[in-house]
Amino acid sequence: MIQYSLIGDYPVQSFFRLDSNTGIIRTTTSLRQDANYGSFYIARVTAVDNLRPNRVATATVGISVRRNPNSPIFNPTNYARTIPETTPVGSVIIDVNATDADVNVRFCVLYLRSYVKYVKVAKIICTRV
């Protein structure tokens, strides 16, 4: 019989578990809780047989994580408004909305700032819903 053990460095043992009998690696915690947003983890695994003398083998396991695979999607995809040049600074021009399959984010309001000869979008305020 072979016994497996995980000897990976931090943060591998915070997010993954190795079954000592089967060698199967599973997640133990959501990878979204990784404050470093790791996209690649390196685990070191040992296998020890139960014969005498014991023999040990070590393998390196790379675990690649796809982070944020989906882009936000605007609905509709194009926005247009015509405004007078006398529109007061700070006026709400348009409410734009996007959804994201990874994280539910609502992109809220574009604010208007005027400059000497033109009007420019200056700020987007986002909130999570």
pLDDT mean over 72-94? 85
Helix residue ranges, H only, 6-93:
12-15
CA 73 – CA 67 distance, rounded (Å):
17
Residue where a domain terminates, one of 34, 64, 94: 64
The predicted-structure confidence for 18-77, as pLDDT tens digits, reads as follows: 999 999 999 998 887 887 778 888 889 999 998 999 999 999 998 888 777 778 888 888
For the beta carbon of residue 26, count every other beta carbon within 10 angstroms: 9
| 14 shares its domain with 59 | yes
Angle formed at CA 68 by CA 19 and CA 31, multiple of 5 degrees: 25
| 31 shares its domain with 84 | no
| 82 shares its domain with 41 | no
| 115 shares its domain with 92 | yes
Give the CATH number, domain containing residue 8: 2.60.40.60
| 59 shares its domain with 9 | yes
| 57 shares its domain with 85 | no
Domain region containing 49 = 2-64
Please count the structural domains in the chain.
2
Element (H, E) at 120: strand 119-128
Average pLDDT, the chain: 77
The set of residues, in sequence order, having a beta carbon less than 8 Å from that of 3 and lying 6+ positions away, is 20, 21, 47, 48, 50
For the beta carbon of residue 12, count every other beta carbon within 10 angstroms: 20
Give the E-state strand segments of 7-69 in sequence order. Answer: 16-18, 25-27, 40-49, 56-64
Residue where a domain terminates, one of 64, 86, 116: 64
| 81 shares its domain with 124 | yes
Q: Which of the two residues, 14 and 122, has the higher pLDDT score? A: 14
Look-up of token digits 């992109």 = 107
What is the value of pTM for the model shown?
0.56
Residue 11 has pLDDT above 80, yes or no: yes
